Amino acid sequence: MKRSALLLAAVPVVATAVYMLMPAGSDGAAAGDGPSVSASPNAREQTEERAESEAAEDDALVASRPPGLADPAKKELAQQILASAENATLRWRETYGSIEDAGDGDGYTAGIVGFTTGTHDLLTLVERYTRKHPENGLAGYLPALREVDGTDSHEGLDPGFPAAWQAEARTPEFRAAQEAERDRVYFDPAVRVAKLDGLGAFGQFVYYDAMVRRGPDTGPDGFYGLREQAVRKARTPGQGGGEKEFLEAFLDVRRAAVLAKKPDADTSRIDTVQRRFLREGNLELATPLTWQVHGEAFRIP
């Protein structure tokens, strides 16, 4: 997973709303030279109530939508397509133990969605797993994982961490932990936002793939930043816009962000996977599916 700014996946809406009312100074004072200013208890209560009401409305809207990518068969398709781009295979369940340094500045990339030692999500996975299974074979690497977080360093991880990851990935508990973290941080938030935007199963996959690759972040390269840029170019279906037009705009923005960082980057997961499905009009991700990514051809009958 790539990360460019602040992770938002698990931040409650109410907490975010309350934070916006807090003074800006690091010690509780407002920014600048003036006196400190804080929201009144009544204003905070009103903000909390408004946020809770909006969240409830969103929950009701999401619940009213068809299952889309959350349907088990569609979710399986999504993971197969993702695995074709991440690990050149459709057999995603064989990738729990995958681990390598891809030389992209994120340290080790591992597991079913490419958790990385440099972007916090692998550390979070191991921390959460260790709370439930304290005697696991990765727990001893937590101090090193905390030290290298945000860097591409292997200090304290080599030479044993890759083998420890592969060994732990043979256990059903760690496999379940990877899937749970995938859903908590990437899949569930992506599908929820896509449904709120009025997107079908394919659009939900577009968001999921971008969430995995760009991270659930607010910066210009993160998922939420990319979505914000796309909304400036085209209205979402939820805003009355066309689904194909909006998704074209989103893919344009995402592709530009990739190339801005690395002009010779491989963008085939956008160009010959997602744009192919979009231009075929396959907005519900119906099978059969045929695509190419990183020069390899794949087909799901």
Catalytic residues: 86, 104
**Cis ω before 301 (30° cut-off from 0):** no
* DSSP assignments along 223-259, one per residue: HHHHHHHHHHHS--GGGT--HHHHHHHHHHHHHHHHH
- Does residue 131 contact residue 142 with C-beta atoms inside 8 Å? no
Smallest CA-to-CA distance from 91 within 112, 73, 72, 71 is with 112
d(CA 207, CA 212): 9
Smallest CA-to-CA distance from 105 within 211, 230, 1, 222 is with 1
Q: Which residues contact 231 (CB under 8 A, 6 or more apart)?
A: 239
- Does residue 59 contact residue 269 with C-beta atoms inside 8 Å? no
Q: Which residues contact 75 (CB under 8 A, 6 or more apart)?
A: 69, 187
d(CA 4, CA 170): 31
The one-letter code for the residue type at 174 is F
Q: Which contacts of 184-188 are long-range, i.e. CB under 8 A and separated by 24 or more positions?
A: 184/9, 184/10, 185/7, 185/9, 185/10, 185/121, 185/124, 185/216, 186/1, 186/9, 186/113, 186/211, 186/212, 186/216, 187/69, 187/75, 187/78, 187/211
